[in-house]
Structure 1
């Protein structure tokens, strides 16, 4: 095992940060690492908005569902699907295909993961903020996002002011399939994992949370998941066909 793999395996979401700012060199390395990520067909259809104005940070924290670390982290980056740049290059570009939405989403995730790994390799921490999709129209207006650009998620970065345990992930046997999809879920293995997650929450919350992973996803998938998103991205010129 090398240092890169060790950094990846140590990943935890950090939601409390010190007041120490990132150096210009650190931020530059993080952004360069993000930009170096793979790009489908070399389309490069992602833009990153670095938000530094405190009032905008406060608004984004509110739009994201009241997540204060959006306002207090040393850096906050918003990753956006972006074909506006391409439309300026080629006004007759055939846009609006769902495949283009997928390409932008995948590329943005690759860029953000590169940024996170780069940050963690320097002793920094971070957390992704999907909550900006709670109010995508307001976020778009705040950041002056034009047509053919919409916000996918945010990323808080900074020096950690907490040292949380690593959250247990599903065992490899439930994720990795050999040659074909294994349709029968190993319930015994799932039960073992549920117990691990339940113990993780008990330890992390001092016994105030007693939930398994299966119970958590049942609650999550029993409710709507931002049903307004489809209409919003359609208005922005995405996934029309």
Structure 2
């Protein structure tokens, strides 16, 4: 196992940070590393907004479920899928032709681009001694978050990312993942293989969460996922995305 793989295998979410600020040079290095992620047709359809202003972080924290680590982290990155630059390019060079920035395919491309870039950023940050945690809560009140960040049409916040130096007194354990054979299928999908892996993973997660909580929680992963899937969540997303110009075709 080389250094890169060892770092990836030791990833953990960090929700408690020291007061040390993230140096501008390091932030720029992290984003530069993010820019080297693969991008479909080199569209680079994403934007990262670094929020350091305490008042703005406080506002975003309130909109994202009142998670205190958004307020406490030195830098809160909001990763956005961004098709506005592509629309502007089309208007500049092909104003006499219809453009399809609102097509579902371009929405997928931009969302994937943002995810790929952000994961590069996460690995780069951890290599510099920083810690991160992803924040899907920016989609709780996505319209208000977009307004607070002055996002134009064809741009939406995919998720946030807290970045900072981890507090050594608040270390988190590494959460076990699904067995490899559950997610690695050879030459076609095997529902039976996937099912066996979930059964094994249920046993693993019961032990993990029971040990972590002193026996207060014992629900297996599949039960947690069932609870998640049967509870309505962010059903406003479809209408919001359409209002911003996405998924029109």
> 1:170 Cα shift?
0.3
Once residues 100 and 128 of structure 1 are traced to their aligned partners in structure 2, the CA distance between those partners, rounded to angstroms, is 23
2:112 match: 106
Gap regions ≥5 residues in structure 1: none
Give me the CA root mean square deviation: 1.3
Once residues 189 and 233 of structure 1 are traced to their aligned partners in structure 2, the CA distance between those partners, rounded to angstroms, is 35
Is the 2:182–2:196 contact (alpha carbons within 8 Å) kept by the matching residues of 1? no
Once residues 198 and 58 of structure 2 are traced to their aligned partners in structure 1, the CA distance between those partners, rounded to angstroms, is 40
> 1:230 Cα shift?
0.6
Aligned residue among 180, 193, 198 for 2:201: 193
Answering whether residue 174 of structure 2 is matched by residue 174 of structure 1, we say no
Once residues 196 and 48 of structure 2 are traced to their aligned partners in structure 1, the CA distance between those partners, rounded to angstroms, is 43
Once residues 130 and 213 of structure 2 are traced to their aligned partners in structure 1, the CA distance between those partners, rounded to angstroms, is 24
> 1:227 Cα shift?
1.2
2:57 match: 57
> 1:148 Cα shift?
1.1
1:120 match: 126
So what's the TM-score if we normalise by structure 1?
Answer: 0.96
* 1:12-69 CA distance string (max 9 Å, x none): 1111111111122321211111111111011111011111111110111111111111
* 1:138-170 CA distance string (max 9 Å, x none): 001000001111111001011112211100000
Answering whether residue 233 of structure 2 is matched by residue 225 of structure 1, we say yes
Aligned residue among 147, 157, 165 for 2:163: 157
Change (3 A) 1:187 1:150: closer
Structure 1 segments of 4+ aligned residues over 6 angstroms from their partners: none
Comparing 200-209 with 119-128, which one deviates more in the overlay? Answer: 200-209
Once residues 220 and 131 of structure 1 are traced to their aligned partners in structure 2, the CA distance between those partners, rounded to angstroms, is 15
Once residues 5 and 57 of structure 1 are traced to their aligned partners in structure 2, the CA distance between those partners, rounded to angstroms, is 33
Give the secondary-structure state (helix, strand or coil) at the position aligned to 1:219.
helix
Q: How many residues align?
A: 241
Once residues 208 and 110 of structure 1 are traced to their aligned partners in structure 2, the CA distance between those partners, rounded to angstroms, is 36
Aligned residue among 211, 214, 218 for 1:206: 214
Answering whether residue 103 of structure 2 is matched by residue 97 of structure 1, we say yes
Gap regions ≥5 residues in structure 2: none
